[in-house]
Amino acid sequence: MYIADLHIHSRYSRATSKECTPEHLDLWARRKGIQIVGTGDFTHPAWREELSEKLTPAEDGLYVLKEDCRIKDESVRGEMIPRFVITGEISSIYKKNGKVRKVHSVIILPGLEYAERIANKLEQIGNIHSDGRPILGVDCHDLLEITLELCPSAIYVPAHIWTPHFSMFGAFSGFDTVEECFEDLTPYIHAVETGLSSDPPMNWRVSALDRFQLISNSDAHSPAKLGREANLLDIPMSYEGLAQAIQTGKGLYGTIEFFPEEGKYHMDGHRKCNLCLTPSDTMRYNGMCPVCGHKITIGVSHRVEELADRPEGYVREGAKAFESLVPLSEVIAASRGCSAASKKTEKEYAHMLSELGAEFEILRTLPLEDIRRVSGTRIAEGIRRLRGGQVERIPGFDGEYGVIRLFSTDELENTEGQMSFFDMIGADAGSTARAGSGTECADRNGAGEDNADLTGRETADAETESTEPSGENRGVKPAPILNPEQLRAVTSGAARIAVKAGPGTGKTKTLVSRLKYLLENRRVRPSEIAAVTFTNQAAAEMRERISRETGKKSAGRLMTIGTFHAVCLDFLKAQGKKFCLAGEAELKDLAGQALEETGADVSEKEFLERVSRHKAGIPAGGTETAPEKISPAEEGIWQQAYERYEQLKAEKNLYDFDDLLLCTAELIESGDARPGWEKSFRYLLVDEFQDINPVQHRLIRLWHSAGQELFVIGDPDQSIYDFRGADARCFEELEAEYSDLEVVELKENYRSSPQILSGAEAVLGKTGSLHANCPDNAPVRVVQAESPLSEGIFIAKEIGRMAGGVGMLEAHREAWENSGRKIRGFGDIAVLYRTNHQARLLEKCLRKEGIPYIVAGREGFLQEESVQGSICFFRYLRDAEDLTAAQECAKLLWKVPWNDMAAEVIRNTAEKFSEAYLKKKPQKFLEEWMTEMNLENDQAMRQFAGMTVFYRTMDEFLSALELGVESDLKRCGDKKYTAEAVTLMTLHGSKGLEFPAVFICGAENGLIPLENEQHPADKEEERRLFYVGMTRAKEELVITASGEKTAFLKPLENSGRENGNEVSGSGENKRAETNADIFSDSYIRWEKAAERKKEAGFRQMSLFEL
């Protein structure tokens, strides 16, 4: 018979002992008598490296510690050598079926090579470096699929399935069935881990678990905690034997269990209120604590009761045996009246092991007379009672360990004194309301039999505040299908309509409804409608919604829908124009050549930016708010360089990005466009009208002049692209241009809470311009930090709190402090900033906390030669006539000039990848490409590869790179990750998006508004930009600064501080302590980011209690 403990942790996991090393795990396994021990944490690269160095293969799929690493210990008798099996635990935090899920899974593997393979895959999904138990935003279904794809013989076990905060059946973030969690892959789950707070009889009550093997492990965070729970196996010593026992039950004799009452989540209750409750008590109090009024923490016993379909005491047919034990050191301590960690206990423990053998042998099978001979009557009696189950059980609750007593007070009086297991973990037994015996919490709390609660109030009054989380739809005025203003805009028969739609007023809904109205009510052909959007993402969503809402897939396909650049590209191709769209690398080379030949003293980047402004129709002197000071001599040299640049492009038959618009306009104006093009623009709709530049306005005129109707929609208060030629006065200019223009204003906001909307309007100076239809929510928080680093740390920590805690301890703390707050998925949260440079520190802080994230925007890594060269090669794969791309690729990747040999290399490589380009998903294609080119360790390419997961085909990916605006380009945080990640993006990039919770980072002078001596800010445009950022938030808005707060917040200062709501601390403690009613007359709350302070009277838990 073997004993196996498969779920443990290394020193690379949070809150673990530094002694969680292979050497000490081996030592304590020998002391305990555990023959098979899991390695834990196989995903962590440093731990895998350490395991590779210190372990050597033994039986199939098992390892032993190398002889020269083994710690000699005189207390260990015998020659037993523990085997290691590769294991790890993964924390999945994701959203499924409308709820945030937090589930831990244990994975057991047949070798380190499989660990390497799976870890490499998971590294593409999330951060596996910051924690031995990584936090991933991946669905458990997908994690199981990934595991089995890479290692079909892997064993996947849902961990501690009843733990409230992080488990499959957890009360706070779990599921009600295994099938809901794993869906079609449920048949591949063969076992579940019961956890410390439940034992087999509790699990037998749930018939849905009959088909699964019940296993138990310690989840040890220190070597001394090995074997708290373990498995009894009668198997061949091999991975195959272990797998058969866990997956089929053959060879699984039974389990060694914690007393479930000793588990810290066994019963319901509130640790801060010293209150333990039975499930019936909790139901009597309607789930609310009768002491403080907050939600009660639901325990395992309660959750089992909810899912059970059998009575207490039911015994499953063919059930495996189990034994409930406590560690030997605690038996010694209880018998001798001292601490389990005392020198006296340690000495006796070592003496017993050296004289009698391993711990489990002593606890389970050794004759009592032998124990009495070595250690005396009291310890022998304690072990006798333990074996017979003669213990007093006082259950744990809400993170507080339970108490298992071997001896009564009377038995210990006048001898060695009383010592309970509650004392052994360092707490004062008298500090909690514990009295009586058995598992009746009511007795311990001293509650009477009547209906009065502990405070003397009647239970009917116990529910003192709403249990609904903030941000729910409670109290929301449901938006009608279309409100009167929207309906007017949608059904108007005017030839020209302009809709001014403030943030959250249903702009997209109105635009899609207009399209649907044209199709279904006015019977307009889809091929006669053109809808121009600002982003590729908006175009894709519009096409999908039209197809879905009309029930006709062809509707979205037959319309002309896209950005200005995408529409113009298709137009030019339809006109038979033959050209190649130049990449950034080629344009930079051409610009450099033109500048060198003409002697212009300016960088390629500055030159290309001015070329773009010129083609957009921005005059040489710049705009009114962003003037450019250029001397006549400089203007002359620039003109020469520009003409030479255009000539070089023409020689290679290249277009730049702006040529698409300019050439389209020129082709139509010249009358050379092929007849019939007008049909596609008879009904023209333009989104984000406030952001158009002069050449785009020129195109609108040309398209509309050949059509019938024009419908534009946007918001002048969100005009944020003056530097690209946009003008907030565009609606006024349109009214002046078309005297028959019908103007409709949308003022009903269905996105943001009144607090957020009021704050944003105050910043803009237009209080009352919009009407909020959402319920009251949390005040807007303005948080002052001491430095950019402390600001980043605050944001990362606060995101963790919004998610309900990303670790066990944090989750427990947040369950208390945020009772009643809505738990958010990572995908519900965005962090906005003024410049991409700010993202670097934020990424570092999020990685440190193990929080998954994606970064949106066109970043610096895209300019690296490896990335640009790869893009050129992909363009050549798409179009073999694009020889310029091939030449640039040879230069950037192969570092060779263009010649016959280079051409041959490019062609041969293209033949190798041409089929994969068409058939494989971008993520897989990039993996193969990077391997072929030895670019796996190229940091820029790794970031570049992180973008691919957002696209279905390589053509789609290339199109986004060529035509996408900032919000169209996303990458994972150095990972390939698709869902449940915090979004990092600039304020500009956030335009058109919305999130339940938004942070605006760096709201300080110098950043917002962005200005320096060389580039003075356009204050009004920067104000509008800040307004855009604030109105992305639906329910929570947190504004942070580490320098002097932006002047844009001044309109809010008096309002907030007059109400006395400037607080210090990181906010989480104060939110629990302060009545939200004091903010009812205000929409702003001022805070200071500071270190959290320990609560008075609250014992700091030891890391080793885990």
More confident call, 340 vs 1062: 340
- 259 contacts 247 by C-beta, under 8 angstroms: no
Q: What number is the average pLDDT over the span 795-808? A: 83
Q: How far apart are CA 1104 and CA 1039, in angstroms?
A: 37
More confident call, 458 vs 981: 981
Q: What number is the average pLDDT over the span 803-813? A: 62
Q: Which of 202-211, 661-670, 917-926, 957-966 has the lowest mean pLDDT?
A: 957-966
295-314 pLDDT, tens per residue? 888 889 999 999 999 999 99
State the binding site for ATP.
501-508
Q: Which of 367-371, 469-473, 893-897 has the lowest mean pLDDT?
A: 469-473
Task: Provide the Cα torsion 532, 534, 536, 537; round to 10°.
Answer: -110
551-602 pLDDT, tens per residue? 888 888 899 999 999 999 999 999 999 998 888 888 999 999 999 999 988 8
β pairing state of 560-563 and 403-405: unpaired
Residue 1073: predicted pLDDT: 33
Torsion over CA: 16, 22, 24, 27 (sign): positive
- 126 contacts 852 by C-beta, under 8 angstroms: yes
Q: What number is the average pLDDT over the span 68-97? A: 93
Pick from 1089, 1071, 445: nearest CA to 816: 1071
Maximum Cα–Cα distance for the chain, whole Å? Answer: 110
Q: What number is the average pLDDT over the span 414-429? A: 39
Give me the residues paired with residue 5 across strands.
37
Residue 550: predicted pLDDT: 86
Q: How far apart are CA 128 and CA 761, in angstroms?
A: 42
- Tokens found for residue 1087: 């805070």
Mean pLDDT, rounded, of the chain: 85
State the binding site.
501-508
364-397 pLDDT, tens per residue? 999 999 999 999 999 999 999 999 999 999 999 9
SS3 call for 214 = strand
Whole-structure pTM value: 0.67
Q: How far apart are CA 699 and CA 691, in angstroms?
A: 14
In this structure, the number of other CB atoms found within 10 A of the CB of residue 481 comes to 8
Q: How far apart are CA 65 and CA 824, in angstroms?
A: 43
Could you identify the residue written with the tokens 């395991």? Answer: 51
Q: How confident is the model at residue 3 (pLDDT cuts 50, 70, 90)?
A: very high
607-622 pLDDT, tens per residue? 999 999 999 888 765 5
Which of the 8 DSSP states describes residue 237?
A: S
Residue 432: predicted pLDDT: 36
β pairing state of 275-277 and 268-270: antiparallel
Could you identify the residue written with the tokens 């032993």? Answer: 64
Torsion over CA: 335, 338, 342, 344 (sign): negative
Pick from 913, 911, 934: nearest CA to 924: 913
- Tokens found for residue 891: 């230069």
Q: Which of 414-418, 861-865, 1036-1040 has the lowest mean pLDDT?
A: 414-418
Find all residues with CB under 8 Å of 307, minimum gap 6, and list them: 169, 176, 206, 208
Residue 731: predicted pLDDT: 92
DSSP string, 32-68: HT-SEEE---TT-HHHHHHHHHHEEE-STT-EEE-GG
Buried-exposed string 886-897: b where 16+ CB fall within 10 A, e elsewhere: bbbbbbbbbeee
Pick from 370, 362, 369: nearest CA to 331: 362
First to last CA, the chain: 28
Q: How far apart are CA 16 and CA 33, in angstroms?
A: 22
Burial grade of 255 (CB within 10 A; 0-12, 13-18, 19 or more): buried
Give me the residues paired with residue 155 across strands.
108
Q: Which of 13-17, 288-292, 691-695, 1056-1060 has the lowest mean pLDDT?
A: 1056-1060
Q: What number is the average pLDDT over the span 10-29? A: 95
